[in-house]
Structure 1
Amino acid sequence: MAKHRIFTTSFASVYPHYVAKAEKKGRTKAEVDAIIGWLTGYSDTELDARIADKTDFETFFGSAPRLNPDRALIKGVVCGVRVEEVEDPTMREIRYLDKLVDELARGKAMAKILRSQ
């Protein structure tokens, strides 16, 4: 079976949409970056490098410094699909990120988005 085209899409081409979605609802680029850092372990410098070199989504998540073990706590529906039921590991990571950005845009507190105890 062929890979989904999102896997070969550059993260840099989608990142501005994450930021725009958040800013449209009064949130900030820094909050989007904090979510991405929490999920993947990328520092701001590393994130900027991945954006600059137009890393594709598959490589972006496959090379993540430290995927957060608490990401398994992310539950819910995004694009009509339950994120916890997505079978492909890379697609699940992409859906986790989509869900976190959705929560940010809906005004959820950062502590809750980052699953802080």
Structure 2
Amino acid sequence: MTTTQEHDAKIAKLVFASVYPHYLKKIETKGRTVTELHQVIEWLTGFDENSLQQLIDEKVNFQIFFERANLNTNAHLIKGIICGYRIEDIETPLTKQARYLDKLIDELAKGKSMDKIFRK
């Protein structure tokens, strides 16, 4: 699936710190914890809690966030539809990575077990 240049640029410019509270609210309203959220983010990106806080404090955008990430080797196993896009068909790497994160957080909020989220 080809996304538009405008769509991809919009994702690249999004500041992670501005989206993080929405992730947190989404999972907490469904009974999940901030610890679980951090585990999911760390699984995908390699960022531990301290690294994540530093990125939030720096107010990095998604482009920098994913440039600094060490994407999990099993990230390609994340499939499905999120935000109207089929993840496995997205051609732009940054947009795909952002949708990976969205999908994992969505699965967490929907009550999936951590083993399933981590593609074990």
Residue of structure 2 equivalent to 1:112:
116
SS of structure 1 residue aligned to 2:74: helix
By how many angstroms is 1:79 displaced? Answer: 1.0
Q: Which amino acid aligns with 1:83?
A: I
Task: Give TM-score, length-normalised by structure 2.
Answer: 0.92
Q: What residue ranges of structure 1 are gaps of 5+ in the alignment?
A: none
Residue of structure 2 equivalent to 1:71:
75
Whole-angstrom distance in 1 between the partners of 2:83 and 2:12 = 16
Whole-angstrom distance in 2 between the partners of 1:74 and 1:111 = 13
Instruction: Say whether residues 1:43 and 2:48 are aligned partners.
Output: yes
Q: What residue ranges of structure 2 are gaps of 5+ in the alignment?
A: none
Whole-angstrom distance in 2 between the partners of 1:98 and 1:17 = 11
Residue of structure 2 equivalent to 1:90:
94
Identity %: 49
Q: Say what the alpha-carbon RMSD is for the aligned residues.
A: 1.0
By how many angstroms is 1:4 displaced? Answer: 2.4
SS of structure 2 residue aligned to 1:36: helix
By how many angstroms is 1:9 displaced? Answer: 1.3
Task: Give TM-score, length-normalised by structure 1.
Answer: 0.94
Whole-angstrom distance in 2 between the partners of 1:8 and 1:80 = 20
Q: Which amino acid aligns with 2:94?
A: T
Instruction: Say whether residues 1:11 and 2:16 are aligned partners.
Output: yes
Q: Which amino acid aligns with 1:22?
A: I
Report how many aligned residue pairs link the two structures: 115
Whole-angstrom distance in 2 between the partners of 1:91 and 1:6 = 7
Q: Which amino acid aligns with 1:44?
A: E
Q: Which amino acid aligns with 1:46?
A: S
User: With CA pairs under 8 Å and 6+ residues apart, which has the higher RCO, 1 or 2?
Assistant: 2
Whole-angstrom distance in 2 between the partners of 1:35 and 1:60 = 15
| 4+ aligned runs moved over 2 Å, structure 1 | 1-4
